[in-house]
Structure 1
């Protein structure tokens, strides 16, 4: 049964319900390392994991890959994927409802603000919500294969990357290109809560940074040529962490300097990253790989999920809106 053929659809989960911790201010984190994370991936894989090694699988009766998930507050989350799939839960994963967003495009990223705004991007489409992801409408006159999206704490602005190496800014319904100089695809982007500092990553170890709210961008030298797939930037913009091919973990740390390590075989990749502002977080990738860190990515330890499917995206269950 294909999810896109039923609208709306309620999917009732038989596994234990999962709760995001309460709190909706991006500038603080309530994570104590015990919340764990939701991860999504290949063949509608959805899994919850925690630092103690407990794993809950969510057997969704749908087809296609899930590409990203964003969690907000104590009970609400949104997952997106192939064939225009947008799933929303209001009860911490007890039930997931499919939203009719009017597209069958592959949806690749989702971002939720601390306010009412939310954003979903994909192949040739940008969707915006102003009612806490209860409904989405397409932004008009949009072209491009959008790969990632991020937004500020208030949700007034959003930025998104494309497979052709562009960065766009969305202000209301106005889309403006703010960077067009990359020769390869860009696949990840992050922003500080107020929107002053941004970082984007892509093919060949490319890292782009803006410290003026996206008006100008500069390339940051890095010691890796591996493709980078996801990135986070710290609250004070003094730390950037990115992950990618061969299990690359790149850290650009104002205090400790630049470092890079490869944690996987060359044929595997880390594809999803979430770090809370207290340094606790996870990465996920090919063949069900999952790692956790308690020190902002300085050290990583493996979590055994018992999965073979690739995991593409995750969000930490710590009460912070997703960047």
Structure 2
């Protein structure tokens, strides 16, 4: 398994393959916003109608109307790439290069010391302010105060990977109870219950996993990554099985609605399932076959997912 790190250059250096075998009508992608060729958006997060999108260089966009309009935020205190973003209630956190964490306090974004210089690739926060951030070389950080302070909580990687290997961790999720789920290289998916110091192995394989969607209630969960990998869990992430999405592309993001519609972003590829992963089709329009898209999410009450990616684009995927 090649040891790789998803980075600012990801969209320009990795190649996806064209999808095959579409069995149903394709979904349609429409550009909502387009930046310059030098812009890039890597992550998006929604809580109700409020959303944040993050990218490079030090680029933050905000919507308060369910993604109908987006406003670039001023006075963001960095020019480093922001690779992950999370918003929940009054809490908003962005993470990125060189261990960067930004926390919103009122209308201002402030840099927070994390104790690491490793690239942070994903962040998740719950309504009480418990948060997790993950990144390069096995980095896993936790916060209990909305991102003001952070502590390392990384697993003993020798228990889950080859000796001397600290796998890159690309995706993280924390639920309202404080249970943390992380995913990364070697198809690793690990979970730590709130109040516990023990990590439990939920999945292991070959392909790197770049994104997680943990469904609430009885809704399915998904993880996606290299070689067209799509994993599905019907038990809130306790166990996982691979499903065929009809592609071998590098898949970078995944979102699922409460009515089982699943949208997956990737390198020159986007996949859509209307039925919880039983059948898949491509997505037409929006340059999905010539550009890369990564972060994806869905505002509350919306029937469309929103994907962000190359050239500062935001796509609305109607399905």
TM-score, normalised to structure 2, is 0.72
Q: Distance in 2 between matches of 1:227 and 1:292?
A: 21
Which sits farther off after the overlay, 261-270 or 37-46?
261-270
Q: 2:86 aligns with which of 63, 70, 76?
A: 70
Q: 1:126 aligns with which of 118, 128, 140?
A: 140
Partner deviation per Cα, 1:125-158 (whole Å, 9 max, x = no partner): 1111222323221104353200011222322x12
Q: What are the within-5 Å matches in structure 2 for residues 282-321 of structure 1?
A: 282-293=306-317, 297-298=318-319
Distance 1:266 1:102, change over 3 A: same
Contact 1:67/1:81 (8 A) holds in 2 = yes
1:47 maps to 2:52: no
How much has 1:230 moved relative to structure 2?
0.8
Q: Distance in 1 between matches of 2:255 and 2:297?
A: 7
Contact 1:228/1:243 (8 A) holds in 2 = yes
How much has 1:101 moved relative to structure 2?
1.3
Q: Distance in 2 between matches of 1:102 and 1:270?
A: 30
1:117 aligned partner: 130
How much has 1:189 moved relative to structure 2?
0.4
Contact 1:110/1:120 (8 A) holds in 2 = yes
Contact 1:208/1:219 (8 A) holds in 2 = yes
Q: 2:120 aligns with which of 107, 111, 120?
A: 107
Q: Which runs of 4+ in 1 moved over 4 A?
A: 49-54, 254-257
How much has 1:197 moved relative to structure 2?
3.6
How much has 1:167 moved relative to structure 2?
1.1
Q: Distance in 1 between matches of 2:82 and 2:113?
A: 16
TM-score, normalised to structure 1, is 0.72
Distance 1:116 1:232, change over 3 A: same
Partner deviation per Cα, 1:54-102 (whole Å, 9 max, x = no partner): 53343434232100111121x43000000111110131xx211111111
Distance 1:99 1:245, change over 3 A: same
1:139 maps to 2:153: yes
Q: SS of the residue aligned with 2:311?
A: helix
Distance 1:195 1:100, change over 3 A: farther
What stretches of structure 2 of length at least 5 have no aligned partner? 1-45, 158-165
Q: Distance in 2 between matches of 1:117 and 1:63?
A: 26
Q: Distance in 2 between matches of 1:255 and 1:202?
A: 15
How much has 1:285 moved relative to structure 2?
0.3
1:167 maps to 2:189: yes
1:258 maps to 2:274: no
Which sits farther off after the overlay, 58-67 or 185-194?
58-67
Contact 1:187/1:202 (8 A) holds in 2 = yes
The size of the alignment, in residue pairs, is 258
Distance 1:256 1:139, change over 3 A: closer
Q: SS of the residue aligned with 1:164?
A: helix
2:228 aligned partner: 205
Q: Distance in 1 between matches of 2:97 and 2:254?
A: 22
Contact 2:262/2:277 (8 A) holds in 1 = no
Contact 2:267/2:292 (8 A) holds in 1 = yes
Q: Distance in 1 between matches of 2:300 and 2:91?
A: 20
Which sits farther off after the overlay, 272-281 or 249-258?
249-258
Q: Using CA pairs below 8 Å that are at least 6 residues apart, which structure has the higher relative contact order?
A: 2
Q: Distance in 2 between matches of 1:168 and 1:66?
A: 24
Q: 1:230 aligns with which of 249, 253, 257?
A: 253
Contact 2:76/2:109 (8 A) holds in 1 = no
Q: Distance in 2 between matches of 1:150 and 1:284?
A: 19
1:58 aligned partner: 74
How much has 1:268 moved relative to structure 2?
1.7
